[in-house]
Amino acid sequence: MNNLTVIKIGGNVIDNPDALTRFLTAFASLPGDTILIHGGGKIATQVAEKLGVQTTMVDGRRITDQAMLDVVTMVYGGLVNKQIVAKLQALDSNAIGLTGADANIILAEKRPVKEVDYGFVGDIVAVDSGRLQSFMRQELTPVIAPLTHDEMGNMLNTNADTMASAIAVDLSHHNAVTLVYCFEKKGVLSDPADDDSAIRELTPALYAEYKAAGVISKGMIPKLDNAFNALQNGVERVIICHADELAMAVQEGAGTTLRLATNQQES
């Protein structure tokens, strides 16, 4: 099977030009096929403020009304996406910037209103992995913004971690996929105040223990839920690491590696 690395970059790296350049330099040098999914929420909030658009968050998730949808479409699909593509071109990586609407690669549906009305937020329905593979066969590197569409002419704001997991799972049917989540921490930390306390290996059982103890909480929980879902549905390996340690992490020398069982349990 073909080796493929699907990488999501987010956190404070996107809005730090030096950190982003270091990350993209490492990304461009990775062997084999690669796909990059990016965030950009901090920049969207800054642009919204300049435009007089109010930002509302519930449990760390953005409420996307029509005005905010216009902002995130401009920022994610335009400003951030094209800046990343341009930087990759300068690194001899022939990147192509995409949203879920481009070539119909990611179809979603508007999240139903329950306790909270998240507005124009999309839950993924389907990924066209064949179309993504056709780009890679043309030696193009897909760079995907966290936007999808509903096939009725509407763009939808979609969680980048979830997009990375869904893309990795769909492509795992024909590829040996490694999924990497990069941000400004050195992995999943056993002590949130100590950046050198990265947990080297995490299984579902350990994850449950850390959650019960309050060691893992807040925004890390949905990220890990997406990661374990990917492992349970065909992705070979999931890594969470610092953006500066991408190359080492892919070689299993840094960050937190997620497994469905420990090596002893596997044997």
CA dist., res. 116 & res. 104, Å (int)? 28
* 157 has binding-site annotation: yes
3-state secondary structure of 183: strand
* 62 has binding-site annotation: yes
* 255 has binding-site annotation: no
Q: Is it the case that residue 218 has pLDDT exceeding 60?
A: yes
Which helix (H) or strand (E) covers residue 137, if one does? helix 129-137
DSSP state of 103: G
Strands 95-98 and 175-183: unpaired
Strand partners of residue 155: 149
pTM of the model: 0.94
4 to 53, 82, 117, 175, 209: CA distances (angstroms): 39, 23, 36, 6, 31
Q: Contact, 118 vs 102, CB < 8 A? A: no
Domains in the chain, ordered, with CATH? Answer: 2-266 (3.40.1160.10)
pLDDT band at 262 (very low <50, low <70, confident <90, very high): low
Q: Contact, 64 vs 121, CB < 8 A? A: yes
Instruction: Report, in this order, helix, strand and coil percent for the chain, each rounded to 5.
Output: 40, 25, 35
Q: Which residue has the tokens 């100590």?
A: 194
* 22 has binding-site annotation: no
Which helix (H) or strand (E) covers residue 208, if one does? helix 204-212
Strands 155-157 and 147-149: antiparallel
R_g over Cα of the chain:
18
What is the per-residue pLDDT across 135-183, written as a single tens digit (0 to 9) for each?
999 999 999 999 999 999 999 999 999 999 999 999 999 999 999 999 9
Strand partners of residue 121: 157
Q: Contact, 260 vs 231, CB < 8 A? A: yes
pLDDT of the residue at 253: 78
What is the per-residue pLDDT across 18-48, written as a single tens digit (0 to 9) for each?
999 999 999 999 999 999 999 999 999 999 9
Calculate the average pLDDT of the chain. 93
State the virtual CA torsion across 252, 221, 36, 118 in degrees, nearest 10. 180
CA dist., res. 189 & res. 187, Å (int)? 6
DSSP state of 158: -
Segment 238-252 mean pLDDT: 92
